[in-house]
Structure 1
Amino acid sequence: MLPEVHGWLLRRTSSAGDWNPRELAAAKGGTTISVVLPARDERETVGEIVGVIRRDLGDLVDEVVVIDSRSRDDTAKVAARAGATVYAQDEILPQLKPLDGKGEALWKSLAVTTGDVVAFVDADIRKFRSCLVFGLLGPMLTDPAVAYVKGCYDRPLDGAPNAGGRVTELVARPLLNLHWPQLAGFVQPLAGEYAGRRTALERVPFVTGYGVELGLLVDLLELAGLDALAQVDLGSREHAPQCIEALGCMACHIMLAAWARLKRQGKIQAFDEPIPCLDQFCRSEYGHDVRTKDVGIGERPPMMTIAA
């Protein structure tokens, strides 16, 4: 680990227990805060998450917004009933051709939220606790030099306390260590819980697929520098694990996001674009069937470049 990263770890890593929501509400002054949940078919968890935020953080959080990403169930109704303002992803900035993916929902949320600070929280978290939100806000509300805060936590899986995060350990962490070693101190670089100042978030592009978290880290490092980034230990986080086939697609999104940034930053010279297809195999009575999936990702430009 680089010496500057070791120093950053000591200086810019805190714990959710270090922050008190009442004290943060008093400290925020005129700063407004939006919490955004991108959600697709999350009726089982989204209502509880919105309800906890509304109940526990009413003095701290100014708005809770759910971006409904083409849900086939009643996610939108459940979220609205719990107290969230709900927007359909494709109805935001309708003059733009709709794109797919989590990053699209996050990017479009910047067009409909009003907070000076925007916190993003996944909508599939089980046993949700309000510290997953106020922990992210502590560093920014107490230090104006911090522009972006990433959550980190244990990820239980099948009874093991920290067996989750397979794509993180097999794909994202090696990429960051090899090409952006200044980011090697982030415990959970793909965590879905993070917060940023609008002034920073609107100045960087958003990858539309599952590479959005890695893309934001790399781009915000380039924009603001390592010392403007922080992380907070949020304890543990439980959600429904993805199957191995889905994780393969996620890994491709992350690798494509990294490739684009390596090319943009002049770290590689590439004359051919990567082919955004993933061939996966499934056992059948006739042997192995090939399933080819399109894993291409799009990228939205910085929101500040979009006409009002």
Structure 2
Amino acid sequence: MHDRALTWFRERSSTWHDWPLDRLLDGKFRQGLRISLVIPARDEATTISEIVTGLHTALVKDAPLLDELVVIDSNSSDATATLAERSGATVYRASDILPEQGNHHGKGEALWKSLFVTSGDLLVFVDADLTQWGPHFVTGLLGPLLADPGTLLVRAAYTRLRTGTDGSTSPDGGRVTELVARPLLSLYWPELAGVVQPLAGEWAARRELMESLSIPVGYGVEISTLVDTASLHGIDAIAQVHLGARAHRHRTDADLALTAAELLAVTEHRKTSPARSPGATELHQFVQDGAWVRPHSRPVPSYERPPAAGVSRAAPGSDRSSA
């Protein structure tokens, strides 16, 4: 491993046990900070209620750590929005936030739009498809931000579990991380090779950082935020916290290939032409059709939203979902 990355790994890594709740509450109120939790969700009716209920109970009702618990519903076709609101979240439809700016499908789009309907100085992002998790996913990520004003971004590290067809689990989840993200960082940004989970869906950041960055509308948001923060502020502005084990719903290889293509487009843009928006492209695949296959092409989300700091902010609460 690159010497600088190894030093960073040793100095900027901690575990969630290092950040007890009482210490976080003391830091929050002493610094007068507001904290917003954002959960981007699309068709996650099977998991959203448990996640929202658990986090709302632990970190809103039982302990006043979170000032906002927001779900950004990305055009769900199921009851995700209704269940999230019943469980204690404030729910916004992504398409209703800044409608004059248009609407894109994707996780990055939901996170970008969340900047216009939340007020937290610190932002925590948690995925909506988790099946093994705990409130420490939030408390652990907030620790380095509350302890060190020089920390701008905190990434989750964890043992990523993969569930087999027989129900067994093994610690070898994260196919896109191992096959795409980690090789990319090792080749082009070796100083970031100490980041255990560069595509972690759980992370936290200061608002001023998030509002200063361009945001890819799709799954490239995690790696873009990591690379851009390091490029603009140095790797010591980043920390990581080990959260234990994480499990979530797995996607098909064909869908993961689209994610991989997004990562390649996002990183190529940053490596070669950062002043120019990445161009539109397609991923060409094949699907089974009887005894043979047929071609199938899918657009690769490559559009990036501009820094939110330069976009007019919506009136607070004006776009709240009625779900």
TM-score by length of 2: 0.91
Assess if the C-alpha contact under 8 Å between 1:33 and 1:61 holds in 2. Answer: yes
Q: Indicate yes or no: 2:13 matched with 1:8.
A: no
Give the Cα separation in 2 of the matches to 1:85 and 1:2.
43
Partner of 2:214: 205
Give the Cα separation in 2 of the matches to 1:33 and 1:294.
35
Tell me which of 49, 52, 70 is aligned to 2:51: 49
Shift of 1:285: 2.4
Partner of 1:102: 107
Give the Cα separation in 1 of the matches to 2:248 and 2:213.
28
Q: Indicate yes or no: 2:102 matched with 1:93.
A: no
Give the Cα separation in 1 of the matches to 2:229 and 2:211.
11
Q: Give the gaps of 5 or more residues in structure 1.
A: none
Partner of 2:318: none
Amino acid at match of 1:291: H
Identity among equivalent pairs (%): 45
Shift of the 285–43 alpha-carbon distance from structure 1 to 2, 3 Å rule, reads closer
Partner of 2:317: none
Give the Cα separation in 2 of the matches to 1:274 and 1:297.
7
Partner of 2:85: 80
Q: Secondary structure at the match of 2:231?
A: helix
Give the Cα separation in 1 of the matches to 2:120 and 2:279.
37
The one-character-per-residue Cα deviations of 1:236-277 (angstroms, maximum 9, x if unpaired) are: 1111111110011110011011111112359xxx9xx76611
The one-character-per-residue Cα deviations of 1:189-239 (angstroms, maximum 9, x if unpaired) are: 001000000011110110001111111111111121100100000001111
Amino acid at match of 1:137: L
The one-character-per-residue Cα deviations of 1:65-114 (angstroms, maximum 9, x if unpaired) are: 00000000111111111111000001101111211211000000011000
Tell me which of 161, 165, 169 is aligned to 1:156: 161
Give the Cα separation in 2 of the matches to 1:284 and 1:28.
57
Shift of 1:22: 2.2
Amino acid at match of 1:257: V
Q: Indicate yes or no: 2:233 matched with 1:233.
A: no
Partner of 1:254: 263
Assess if the C-alpha contact under 8 Å between 2:33 and 2:122 holds in 1. Answer: yes
Assess if the C-alpha contact under 8 Å between 2:280 and 2:302 holds in 1. Answer: no
- List structure 1 runs of 4+ shifted beyond 6 angstroms: none
Give the Cα separation in 2 of the matches to 1:274 and 1:171.
20
Number of aligned positions between the proteins: 304
RMSD: 1.6
Give the Cα separation in 1 of the matches to 2:231 and 2:66.
29
Amino acid at match of 2:177: T
Assess if the C-alpha contact under 8 Å between 1:52 and 1:128 holds in 2. Answer: no
Partner of 1:299: 304
